[in-house]
A = this chain, B = another copy of it.
Amino acid sequence: MPVTPLVRAFVSHFGEMGSRWGINRTVGQIYALIYVSPRALNADEIAETLEFSRSNVSMGLKELQAWKLVRLRHFSGDRREYFEAPGDAWEVFRTLAEERRRREIEPTLSMLRSALMEEAGNEEDLHAQARMRDMHALIEQLTNWFDDIQRLDSATLSKLMGMGATVHKLLDFTDKFKRAKR
């Protein structure tokens, strides 16, 4: 399975970025290859194209499935498993955000919550808890908002984004409206 220079460039960029995104090089490349491929690929094709060991590809695919970035397909008359990347970019963004939240944010939130339950017995701890409270409040606010936003359908979301900062005019407006009512 040779691959065009254009695809090669895309794939290797994802490999290089992988580490910054918290996935490893091979996983990044596997995803990139599946993402641009016009049809679903099986593990052997991927291994051959990227010149990775078959087992490495197997592990990479497992991880991509855990991230829900890749979906399994079967074709009749062929018992191998084929993989493809969901097409709706918004959907991908949503699952990515959700997974990251679960892995990178939830654990910290729960640690903070339990630290804030502790009885502080001295100046130091009181100050530390105050700081933790700030951090907790910020994270909660951000993630709750994110949840709300994510629940919107793609069309509404898109509209919202299209508005950009003009949202703030809208806010001024509703403020005035509420005040006028009183």
Contacts and interface: CB of A to CB of B under 8 A. Distances in A.
B152 A104 contact: no
A6 B111 CA distance: 11
Interface size bucket, A side?
35 or more
Contacts of A167: 148-149, 152, 160, 167
A103 interface: yes
B125 A149 contact: no
A168 B152 CA distance: 8
Given A20-B22, A89-B135, A89-B138, A123 B38 contact: yes
Given A127-B36, A165-B149, A10 B111 contact: yes
A19 to B, nearest CB: 8
Interface of A: 4, 6-7, 9-10, 13, 17, 20-22, 35-38, 87, 89-90, 92-93, 103-104, 107-108, 111, 115, 118, 120, 122-125, 127-129, 131-132, 134-135, 137-138, 141-142, 144-145, 148-149, 151-152, 156, 158-161, 163-165, 167-168, 170-171, 174
